[in-house]
Copies of this chain bind each other. A is one copy, B any other.
Amino acid sequence: NSQTEYPTLEWGGFLQLDTGWIIQDQATVDAVGKVNTETGLRRVRLRASGNVSKATSYVIDLDFAASGHPSFRDVAVIFSDAKFVDHVEAGYFKQPFGMDAESSGRELLFMERQLPFAFAPFRQTGLRGFGTFPDENGTYAFSAYKTPTDSYGVSSGNNGGWAFATRETVLLVNNDDVLVHLGGGYSFGNPANNRVRYAVQPGFFVTDPSDNSATGIPAFVDTGNIPTDNFHLFNLELASQYGPFRTQAEYRWSIVNRPKMAPVNFSGGYFQAGLLLTGESAVYNRKRGIFSGVIPDEEFGDCGFGALELTAGWAIIDLNDLDIQGGRMQTLTFGLNWYLNSFARVIFNMIPVKLDAPTVGRADSLVLSGRLQLEF
Query: Which positions in A face B, CB cutoff 8 Å?
Result: 2-3, 6-9, 11-13, 15, 17, 34, 36-41, 44, 46, 48, 50, 52-53, 55-56, 58, 60, 62, 64-65, 68-70, 72, 75, 77, 81, 90-92, 125, 146, 149-150, 152-158, 161, 206-207, 213, 215-216, 299, 301, 340-344, 372, 374-376
Closest to A206 in B: B154
* A301 touching B81 in the complex, CB below 8 Å, given contacts A11-B9, A40-B149: yes
Q: Report the bound CA distance from A15 to B64 in whole Å.
A: 19
Q: Report the bound CA distance from A284 to B65 in whole Å.
A: 34
When distances are taken between beta carbons in the complex, the residues of chain B under 8 Å from A372 are 77, 90
* A213 touching B7 in the complex, CB below 8 Å, given contacts A90-B372, A376-B58: no
Q: Report the bound CA distance from A62 to B13 in whole Å.
A: 14
Q: Report the bound CA distance from A97 to B294 in whole Å.
A: 40
Taking a contact as CB atoms under 8 Å apart, the answer to whether B77 and A17 are in contact is: yes
Taking a contact as CB atoms under 8 Å apart, the answer to whether A91 and B41 are in contact is: yes
Instruction: Give A164 Cβ to nearest chain B Cβ, in Å.
Output: 15
Taking a contact as CB atoms under 8 Å apart, the answer to whether A9 and B299 are in contact is: no
Smallest CB-CB A-B distances: 6 pairs:
A40-B154, A52-B343, A7-B376, A36-B156, A38-B156, A41-B153
Q: Report the bound CA distance from A295 to B132 in whole Å.
A: 34
- 10 A-B pairs (CB sep. < 8 Å): A2-B299, A7-B343, A15-B77, A37-B156, A39-B161, A40-B154, A53-B299, A64-B70, A69-B69, A150-B213
Task: Determine which of B41, B157, B158 lies in contact with A92 in the assembled complex, contact meaning CB atoms within 8 Å.
Answer: B41
Taking a contact as CB atoms under 8 Å apart, the answer to whether A50 and B156 are in contact is: no
Taking a contact as CB atoms under 8 Å apart, the answer to whether B40 and A60 are in contact is: no
* A75 touching B341 in the complex, CB below 8 Å, given contacts A69-B68, A216-B156: no
* A41 touching B215 in the complex, CB below 8 Å, given contacts A69-B152, A207-B154, A343-B7: no
Instruction: Give A153 Cβ to nearest chain B Cβ, in Å.
Output: 5
Q: Report the bound CA distance from A150 to B58 in whole Å.
A: 30
Taking a contact as CB atoms under 8 Å apart, the answer to whether A157 and B215 are in contact is: yes
Closest to A207 in B: B154
* A156 touching B206 in the complex, CB below 8 Å, given contacts A41-B75, A69-B70, A374-B58: yes
Q: A15-B58, A41-B91, A53-B343 are in contact. List 19 more A-B contacts (CB 8 A).
A: A15-B75, A17-B91, A37-B156, A39-B125, A40-B154, A40-B155, A41-B75, A46-B48, A52-B375, A53-B299, A53-B341, A56-B343, A60-B64, A64-B152, A69-B152, A77-B374, A156-B206, A156-B207, A157-B215
When distances are taken between beta carbons in the complex, the residues of chain B under 8 Å from A299 are 2, 53
Instruction: Give A112 Cβ to nearest chain B Cβ, in Å.
Output: 16
Instruction: Give A69 Cβ to nearest chain B Cβ, in Å.
Output: 6
When distances are taken between beta carbons in the complex, the residues of chain B under 8 Å from A154 are 38-41, 206-207, 216
When distances are taken between beta carbons in the complex, the residues of chain B under 8 Å from A374 are 52, 56, 58, 77
Q: Report the bound CA distance from A64 to B4 in whole Å.
A: 27
